[in-house]
Structure formats: C-alpha cells, structure tokens
C-alpha cells in the first residue's frame, strides 16, 4: 500500500472492486429503441412525413390551381413540356394538384374520425370495464345494438336526411369506429381494475373517476396507440369506398377515393388519372400498417423478456 503526494491511500484493487451504477431504461425508452430497430416502421414513418409535407405544402409549390381547366391539354399524358408532370383529366385539370388536395381530405377524415373514435371509445370502454356489473352489461348491449346496424344504411340515411356534407362523413365513420375501440379498452380495463396498484389507490381514498383518469387510461396507452395507427388507414379506406360509390365528398372538393372513382371511368383512355391517386392511397395505407405493426412489436411486453 502506497501514498501519493496528497497522502491519499491508493489500493491497487479498488478500481477493480468498484461497482459502477448501471443506468436503466424506462419501458417507453425501451420500446422506442426497439421501434427504431424495425426498418419497415422507420422507413414508413419517413415516407408518411414526406407525404404529409407534400399534401400540406405541395399545392402551394405548384403553379396550377386544382380548379383551373387547361383546354389545350385535356386528357394529356404525363409530360414535363406541358407543365403537367402527372397528366390532366378529361377537362384539363392537373392530376398532381388534385391528388395532393384530395390527400388533405382523405388524411383529415382519417385523423379526425380516429380522434373522435379514440375519445369516445376510450372513455366509454374504460367506464364500462371499471364499474362492471349492470352498468357494464347495459353499456355493452348498447354497443352491440349499434354494431348490428349496417354501416352503409347508416351513411345513406344521414345523407338523405341531412344532405351531403363532409362533416357527416366524420360523424358516420366516427359513429362506427369507436365501437371497436370501446371493446378493446373494456377488455384491457377488466384485466387492470383488480391489480395491486388499483387496490392501493382505492385504499388511499382515490375516487373512481380519478382512478380511471390517472391509473386506468395511462396504462392503456400502449394498446390505444397501436389501435390508432391501424384505425387511420381503415378510416381512409372507408372514406375512399364511400367516395367511390358517390356518397363521399362532392365537387369542388375531392379525395383519393373520389379521384380513383373518376379515374376508373377513364381508365382505358387516360390510365394516369387512376394510377396516380391509387398509388398515393396504397402507399399511405401500407405505411400506416407498417407503423402499426412496428408499434405493436415495440410495445409488446412479451418481447421485453
């Protein structure tokens, strides 16, 4: 054993025996690192970010207006010389601008209807699952009754009574999609409400609504986030299907479904009017599904073992 100039005792085995603290990672940090290792989900997120940029700012960067008719280039194929890079439709409107503006409607419907179903479904399902008993049976029978109503009949009824309006599309799609969210949240709540930390909260005098808000709902975020990423493409596809049938958005507005419907009529003479919006729609649906699969794998507690 030796001493240095400051009379500090130096032990040659001290450095080897010293235990260094290990910094742990929270479950959310661990899920984030596993998500980053999923290349399909990461690439899809970048593509969707670029897609949102195109949809929001793209029409501002293109010289053509969505309603402008270029009579000199009706049903014109994609060409750089004419300025219509993705061609025009039967009345000379630029396909690229209409596709990007149609993407605004499709993505807006997907996001808004999903948020509506999220708010209603989470609160409804968590309440039914937590209180259980008669309240649970009555609330879930209401869900079963609404679920039994034909979706298309419900949409047609709204259109006939109130007229065609984009707000009604939000209402119609949101009124159906929250049912699945409520069922999923109810099942998760049933498995959580008798756990130790919920019993401890009750023993501390925390009220039922405070337990739902502070303890039940935060512990459902993993499942809810996964379901949201899978609901958005489902809602976009529903809106596209309605627009394809002529029950969706009407002129002068457009959506990917409406553009696909219009392009299908001119598929033989002007296939680009169908291909361009169909490609945007397909890429968006695939990207959201890959992101949802990546989140499911990242937040799965079985993969943390």
Q: Which CATH superfamily is domain 26-69+81-304 in?
A: MetI-like (1.10.3720.10)
Residue 265: predicted pLDDT = 80
Residue 192: predicted pLDDT = 85
Euclidean distance between CA atoms 302 and 305, whole angstroms: 6
Q: Give the CA distances from residue 72 to residues 82, 88, 97, 115, in Å, rounded to whole numbers and listed in that order.
A: 10, 10, 18, 44
Q: Which of 119, 110, 128 lies closest to 292 in space, CA to CA?
A: 110
Q: How many CB atoms lie within 10 A of CB 303?
A: 12
Residue 180: predicted pLDDT = 84
Residue 216: predicted pLDDT = 85
Report mean pLDDT in 10-residue bins for the chain, 305 residues: 48 50 62 82 91 86 74 74 76 84 86 84 89 89 84 72 71 78 88 85 84 83 80 81 74 79 79 87 88 78 52
Euclidean distance between CA atoms 86 and 129, whole angstroms: 51
Residue 301: predicted pLDDT = 54
Residue 18: predicted pLDDT = 53
Euclidean distance between CA atoms 65 and 270, whole angstroms: 20
Euclidean distance between CA atoms 245 and 275, whole angstroms: 18
Residue 43: predicted pLDDT = 92
pTM of the model: 0.74
Q: Give the CA distances from residue 29 to residues 22, 32, 191, in Å, rounded to whole numbers and listed in that order.
A: 15, 5, 24
Half-sphere exposure of residue 103, counting CA atoms within 13 Å on the CB side? 27
Residue 10: predicted pLDDT = 47
Residue 128 burial (C-beta neighbours within 10 Å; 0-12, 13-18, 19+): buried
């Amino acid at each position: 054993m030796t001493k240095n100039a400051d009379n500090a005792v130096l032990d040659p085995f001290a450095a080897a025996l010293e235990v260094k603290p290990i910094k742990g990672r929270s479950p959310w940090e661990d899920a984030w690192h596993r998500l980053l290792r999923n290349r399909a989900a990461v690439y899809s997120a970048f593509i969707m970010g670029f897609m949102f940029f195109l949809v929001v700012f793209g029409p501002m960067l293109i010289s053509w207006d969505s309603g402008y008719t270029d009579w000199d280039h009706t049903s014109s194929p994609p060409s750089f010389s004419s300025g219509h890079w993705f061609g025009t439709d039967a009345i000379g409107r630029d396909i690229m601008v209409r596709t990007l503006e149609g993407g605004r409607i499709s993505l807006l419907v997907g996001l808004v209807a999903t948020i509506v179903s999220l708010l209603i479904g989470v609160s409804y399902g968590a309440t039914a699952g937590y209180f259980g008993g008669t309240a649970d049976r009555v609330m879930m029978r209401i869900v079963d009754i609404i679920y039994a109503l034909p979706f298309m009949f419900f949409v047609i009824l709204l259109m006939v009574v109130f007229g065609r309006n984009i707000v009604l599309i939000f209402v119609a799609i949101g009124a159906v999609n929250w049912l699945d969210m409520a069922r999923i949240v109810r099942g998760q709540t049933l498995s959580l409400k008798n756990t130790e930390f919920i019993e401890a909260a009750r023993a501390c005098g925390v009220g039922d609504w405070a337990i739902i808000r502070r303890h039940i709902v935060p512990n459902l975020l993993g499942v809810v986030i996964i379901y949201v990423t899978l609901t958005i493409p489902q809602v976009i596809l529903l809106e596209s299907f309605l627009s394809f049938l002529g029950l969706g958005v009407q002129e002068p507005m457009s959506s990917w479904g409406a553009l696909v419907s219009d392009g299908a009529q001119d598929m033989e003479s002007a296939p680009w009017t169908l291909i361009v919006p169909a490609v945007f729609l397909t890429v968006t649906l695939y990207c959201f599904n890959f992101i949802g699969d990546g989140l499911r794998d990242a937040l799965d507690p079985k993969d943390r073992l």
